[in-house]
Amino acid sequence: MITILFFASLREALGVNREQFDCKLSSVTDVASLIEALRGRSAAFSEALAPTRNWRVAVNQEIANTNTPIASGDEVAFFPPVTGG
């Protein structure tokens, strides 16, 4: 199981802020395969996580990319570009 978090406009577009996800069931091994699995769920997910959209991904609270490996126990977060300060 991994934990997936969504923030800000992504959280609103998807209607979810946190979920548990079973990597093994979906053969998820990295960020790219996780995104593929998530995008297959619905039009909303497909749209929100499209490669052309300007989202960011973090694995275990560090900025990651589509090649970053994912293993059970990891925390993966998707969010728009940050706007603090």
Partner 1 sequence: MTSILETAVRIEISETDFDVNAELSKMRVGRADIGAICSFIGLVREANLGSRVSSMTLEHYPGMTEKTLRNIVAEASQRWPLQAVTVIHRVGKLLAADNIVLVLVASAHRQAAFAACEYVMDFLKTDAPFWKQESTENGVHWVDARVSDTAALQRWNQN
Which residue ranges make up the site for partner 1 (CB under 8 A)?
A: 5, 7-9, 12, 58, 61-63, 77, 79-85
Query: Minimum distance between the CB of residue 9 and partner 1, rounded to whole angstroms?
Result: 5
| CB of 27 or CB of 54, closer to partner 1 | 54
Taking the complex as a whole, the smallest distance from the CB of residue 82 to partner 1 amounts, in Å, to 5
- The closest alpha carbon to 25, from 6, 10, 38, 44, belongs to 38
Closest separation in Å from C-beta 61 to partner 1: 4
Nearer to partner 1, 32 or 58 (CB): 58
DSSP string, 20-83: EE-TTTTT--BHHHHHHHHHTT-HHHHHHT-TTS--EEEETTEE--TT-B--TT-EEEEEPPP-
